[in-house]
Structures are given as C-alpha cells and as structure tokens.
Homo-oligomer: A and B are copies of this chain.
Amino acid sequence: MLGCCSTTTDEKPISRKQREFARREQEILAAAVSLFENPHWETVTVEQIAKKAEIGKGTVYKHFTCKDDIYANISTGFMTRILTAYRIHDERTEIIDAIKEIISTSFEMFLGNPAEARVSFYCKRGDFRERLTPELKAEFEMLDEQFTGYIGTILQKGINQGLLPNKPVEHLMMGLEATFDGAIGSIWNGDINCPQVEDQETYITIISEYMVAGLVGLKK
C-alpha cells in the first residue's frame, strides 16, 4: 500500500485485485517516468501523470501519499538498478580499472535514463529527504550505505595496493561524488557550450580523467 509495492519488502500479492493494484502502481510510475523525459520535468502535473496512466487524479493518491512519494519510488528503483549494474563487473582485479568502470557505468546510467536520473538527483536534496516518511527515509539511507559500501571497498583495495593515497575512503569518495554530481548538473544545465568541447562524450572523458587524477594526484 501507498507506494510500498515496488520496494524490496515485497510480499507476494495473493488476490487478483491485489495484483492489479500493484500493476497499476507500476503503470503510474511508468507514466511519470515517460513524462519526466522532458527536461522541464518539474512542471509535469499529477493530473498529466494520471491522464497518461489513464486513471483519475484521485487514484494516484490512493497509491502515493504525495508527489514526492512518486519521486522517491522512481529514485529508489533507479538506485537499485545502478547498484546491480555496478556488480556486473565485480570480478575485476585492476583497481584503477574498477574505478573507471564505476565512473563510466554511472555516467551511462545517468545519461541513458535521464528521467529517473533527474528525479534521483532531486531526491538527494536534504529538504526533500526531511519531509519523507520514516520508511522511505530509511530505504534511502540503506541504499546510500550500499553505494558507499560498494565503492568504499574498491577504494580500500586501491589503498592497500598502494595505488591510492592512504586517506579515509570516505574522503576519497567525497571528491569523486562532488565532481560526478557537478558534471551531471553541468550536462543537464547545458553548461557545455564551450567551443572546445565537441560533444558530451568528450566532456565525460575529460571529467572521468580528472576524477581519477584527483584520486591518484592526492598521493603526493
């Protein structure tokens, strides 16, 4: 109920009615995501989402307590998919390559799924998190931990191998995260109007190199 059907704590729905209800919830989220493809995603109204999902506006509120609840469910789903994407390359042994892989996977996921990515970006905001229900807040915290845990483990290996500076992995992660977030923001804001950069791909290459350089450059 209330936006929880798509979470990880998903007890199998029994009746046809419950199944249909759960399916409808996914339809609402899919309708929302398809409308959020538009760069002006924040102006999409609940009424438009309802219309796209071919239901009444009131029904949306039977599934989600508020608009933020829709955003949150899109974001948690997307974050889970990113974590899955990271883990495909789990067996890598070269740490620098593993870091590059995480960076490129992140860019691919964010740029390949602009709607979900934009919403997820929005959902990182402190004031957004504050007004969430404790359950959703906890889910976000769990996902955040999985991210820092996954990346932190790889960075720690890099430190142990002497490839990265011996600093707390959290500190190393801060730089990476800030640069990634800033770069994604730049891309979405159309900041890349500088004539030196032919395209987005070049920009990503530059940023990715800078991210790795920032890590290893800290050694001295």
Which segment, of A2-10, A13-21, A212-220, faces chain B? A212-220
Q: Give A162-187 interface residues, CB cut-off 8 Å to B.
A: 168, 170-171, 174-175, 177-183, 185-186
Partner of A182, one of B182, B191, B217: B182
A218 and B209 form a contact (CB under 8 A): yes
Q: A209-B218, A213-B213, A213-B217 are in contact. Are A126 and B170 (CB under 8 A)?
A: no
Q: Are B196 and A168 in contact (CB under 8 A)?
A: yes
The answer to whether A189 has its CB under 8 Å from any CB of chain B is yes
A181 contacts B175, CB within 8 Å?
no
A207 at the interface (CB under 8 A from B): yes
**Nearest Cβ distance between residue A192 and chain B, in whole angstroms?**
8
Q: Is the Cβ of B175 less than 8 Å from the Cβ of A125?
A: no
Nearest B residue (CB) for A40: B127
A159 to chain B, nearest CB (A): 14
Instruction: Say how far A125's CB is from chain B's closest CB, in angstroms.
Output: 5
| Complex alpha-carbon distance, A212 and B210, angstroms | 10
Query: Known: A182-B182, A196-B168. Contact between A210 and B127, CB under 8 A?
Result: no
A191 proximity list for chain B (CB < 8 A): 124, 126, 177
Q: Is the CB of B179 within 8 A of A214?
A: yes
Q: Is A56 in the interface zone, CB < 8 Å from B?
A: no
Residues of B within 8 A of A148 (CB): 194
Residues of B within 8 Å of A168, CB to CB, are 196
Task: Decide yes or no whether A190 CB sits under 8 A from chain B.
Answer: yes
A interface with B by C-beta (< 8 Å): 39-40, 124-127, 129, 148, 168, 170-171, 174-175, 177-183, 185-186, 188-192, 194, 196-197, 203, 206-207, 209-218
7 cross-chain CB contacts under 8 A: A39-B126, A126-B191, A175-B210, A178-B179, A178-B180, A179-B182, A210-B215
